[in-house]
Chain A
Amino acid sequence: MKLTFKLNGKKRVIEAEPQKRLLDLLREDLHMTGTKEGCGEGECGACTVIIDGEAVHSCLTLVCQLEGREVITIEGLEENGEMCRIQRMFVEETAIQCGYCTTGMIMSTKALLMHNPHPTEQEIRNALAGNICRCSGYTQIIKAVKRSAEEA
């Protein structure tokens, strides 16, 4: 089917199978491999992207659901070739170990801060509850999110 949607601020018109997952559209068709597949079941959050301002699992979104919607991926967060504040804080707080959960964590953070620029720790934990990290124990990640929210 022909799909018209907005991707990282730009209008895109593409031809794709309606039952293709957004995750596969991004990684295979559009060669945007920043978004990762961890489980394919909506359990880990590694594939998180933002659609119409809300965090969703791209492994649980199909092409036929995207008509007219606005999608933001990790690739869309850079600011003039530089990392955005969230990305910088993740680096500074060593909130990245193997890196596999990082994209999803950052996208969930971005979605949270779009709604709520000054979240409490509990609100941060609730917003990231759908993102699993197997390496870190989450402490650095929560710190990075807190710092992303300060003076942002």
Chain B
Amino acid sequence: MEAYVPKSYSEVKECLSKMTPDSKFLGGGTDFIIRLHSGMAKPGALCYLGAVDEFRRIETNRSGIVIGGYATMTEMEHNEVIREQFPALMDAASDVGSLQIRNHGTIGGNLGNASPAGDLIPVLYLYDAVIEALGPDGTRMIPITELIERPGKTVLDYNEAIYRIHMPFPKFKSSFVKLGTRKKVTIARIDMALGISMEQDKVKSVRILIGAISVRPVKLREAEEFLIGKPLNEYNIMKVAEILSDYIMANTPKEFDRDYKVYASRGVVMDTFLKLDREKQ
């Protein structure tokens, strides 16, 4: 098998132009390598860009953060700016698989894999992420909402790499909670990314993204509209949980653990709101 492994940014474009439609990008490979080894994936060539420093950096500018596609879950979890300003990303990255997987798995890989259960995806929706894709002819910017075509497929061309992910500094408090079938090292069955800003004691703005229940994260509009102008008390939070339960009941096929998720989602909603206040933990 061919492998394109550039060692510096100047070598990247040349590698990209050698790729063909049956070439595959390799991130950390924590999902892809399983398919490769079993023979389910049969690429003609692999392109690994993890040796290029520009793809691994986490940097800030005046408006926000720029995360290289090859930043690992562990690197993001421990990054100071992410911990303080994008804590939902820290929440999500810190619970992907095992420590060994987090040390190796990348944000670019999580995006490129485009799994409906992808841990980072609802959080990137929450933070209005824009993906900077790099092809042989240059870069283009793709809003996260336009990236995923269907499970396992993004809109990227075969020779377009996920170079960097841009997110503006949020003006809201945020959190993320994931529920799986076990405490650790578990695939998300349902997760929630929450962003909220208050005016005095009332909700001024709110964003609720629910992941792992559909192809793409679901924006829980009805719950968002309900919360505006209301205080954040237990009654109102339980109302949000009810809206989510009803949504799942109406939209999730029974065989995708609908009945489990209808009940489990209530706990997820409570936990996500509780997690907003980091000082209390």
Contact = CB atoms under 8 A, between A and B. Distances in A.
Contacts, number: 93
Interface stretch (A36-44, A81-89, A142-150): A36-44
Interface stretch (A13-21, A27-35, A70-78, A94-102): A13-21
Contacts of A56: 100, 103-104
Most chain A CB atoms below 10 A, which of B3, B28, B36, B98: B98
Nearest to A56: B104
A130 B100 CA distance: 7
A43 B37 CA distance: 15
Given A42-B34, A43-B185, A55 B1 contact: no
B250 interface: no
Interface string B5-46: 101000000000000000000101110011011000000001
B51 interface: yes
B74 interface: yes
Interface string A53-67: 011110111101101
A152 interface: no
B136 interface: no
A108 interface: yes
Interface string B96-133: 01111101100000000000000000000000000000
B7 A130 contact: no
B100 A45 contact: yes
Interface residues of B, number: 27
A130 B98 CA distance: 5
Contacts of A61: 29, 33, 104
Given A54-B74, A62-B29, A48 B3 contact: no
Contacts of B33: 21, 59-62
B3 A42 contact: no
B34 A18 contact: no
A25 interface: no
Interface string B167-190: 000000000000000001100000
Nearest to A128: B99
Contact of B26 (A54, A62, A130): A62
A-B pairs with the 6 shortest C-beta distances? A130-B98, A18-B3, A54-B103, A129-B184, A64-B3, A56-B104
Interface of B: 1-3, 5, 7, 26, 28-30, 33-34, 36-37, 46, 48, 50-51, 74, 97-101, 103-104, 184-185
